[in-house]
Homo-oligomer: A and B are copies of this chain.
Amino acid sequence: MSGTDTNTVHSPDEARIRDLLSEREQALRQRDADRLIAQYAPEVAVFSLAPPLRQPDSWTHDPAGLRDWFATFDGPIGYEFTELHVTVGGDVAYCHSINRLAAMPHGVPQGFELWFRCTICLRRTGDGWRIAHAHESTPFYMDGSMRAAIDLRP
Contacts and interface: CB of A to CB of B under 8 A. Distances in A.
A146 interface: yes
Interface in A49-108: 49-54, 85, 87-94, 96, 98
A57 to B, nearest CB: 14
Contact of A52 (B54, B133, B152): B152
Contacts of A115: 53
Contact of A87 (B132, B140, B142): B132
A119 B117 contact: no
A94 B51 contact: no
Contacts of A50: 139-142
24 contacts: A45-B96, A47-B96, A49-B140, A50-B141, A50-B142, A51-B141, A51-B152, A52-B139, A52-B152, A53-B98, A53-B149, A53-B154, A87-B121, A87-B123, A88-B92, A89-B123, A89-B124, A94-B121, A119-B119, A119-B121, A119-B133, A119-B135, A138-B140, A146-B147
Interface of A: 45, 47-54, 85, 87-94, 96, 98, 115-117, 119, 121, 123-124, 132-133, 135, 137-142, 146-150, 152, 154
